[in-house]
Structure 1
Amino acid sequence: MESSSNLYPKVADAPPQYGGTQTHLGPMSTMATCPSCQARQFTTVNHEPSTKTHLLALLICLVGGICCCCIPYCVKSCQTATHTCSSCGAYIGSHQN
């Protein structure tokens, strides 16, 4: 009779995980590890206009609010949050609403 270890196929070991844990980047500063300098600290966040910002401004302009079309450029929730390292300035990631 065969042993029970031969009845089942051998499962390969999982590949090793490199780079630490995955950090969720949101619209505000987040604790993250920099891939460049390996420093673990809060990120610096810059909000930049995205395609969503431009389309929303165009929609407001077309509806008739020509004087209100600049509002999406002033509201941070309509822009992309770009996270950079506080110490070396390396790009860490971005968050799009």
Structure 2
Amino acid sequence: MDEKSNVPQRIYPSTPLEQPVAASEQQQALLQPAPPTYSQATGATPTTAPDAAHIVVITPGAPLAYGPAPVDIQCPYCHNYTRTRLRFKPTSRTHLIALLLCLFQLYCFVCLPYCIGSCMNTAHYCGLCDRYLGTYVRE
């Protein structure tokens, strides 16, 4: 027998297969390359916009005046399309009607102006975020 046959064979190499890599190189290896630009993908030449180009963004705004009924609107606070929620607030006119009912001794009907929405101003609030939007004033 010869000497070489008695020596155990190594399965693994003596040096490691993986080389140490810096953290920045690892991140670069994990990132995907950026896609080509439109002009590179189509082979077209890029055009430049004129210097005086203006961008105009048109958004639907609040109605000029709120009414006595709920309104569909885009809320300026939460930017969602929603229907306004109404809250009625008594005015001096409401109190005057109640006082007149007291003077005519119609005590059973004194609370009536406070229960009827047409005797009070209507405040509109956003249906989702509940922020104040505007008021419809009765004249």
- Under a length normalisation based on structure 1, what TM-score does the superposition of the two structures give? 0.70
CA shift digits 1:56-90 (9 cap, x unpaired): 10111112212211110111100111110011111
Q: State the Cα RMSD in Å.
A: 2.1
Q: How do 1:16-95 and structure 2 match up within 5 A? A: 20-23=60-63, 24-95=65-136
Report the alpha carbon displacement of residue 47 of structure 1 after superposing the two structures with TM: 1.6
Larger radius of gyration: 2
CA shift digits 1:5-57 (9 cap, x unpaired): xxxxxxxxxxxxx9754413111110122221222321111122222111110
Larger mean CA deviation between 53-62 and 34-43 belongs to 34-43
Q: Amino acid of the residue matched to residue 126 of structure 2?
A: C
Aligned equivalents of 1:56, 1:78: Cα separation in 2: 9
Number of residue pairs aligned between Structure 1 and Structure 2: 81
Give unpaired runs (5+ residues) of structure 2.
Answer: 1-57
Instruction: Report the structure, 1 or 2, having the larger strand content.
Output: 1
Identity of aligned residues (%): 34
Q: Amino acid of the residue matched to residue 51 of structure 1?
A: S
- Under a length normalisation based on structure 2, what TM-score does the superposition of the two structures give? 0.51
Q: Which has the higher contact order (CA 8 A, sep 6+)?
A: 1
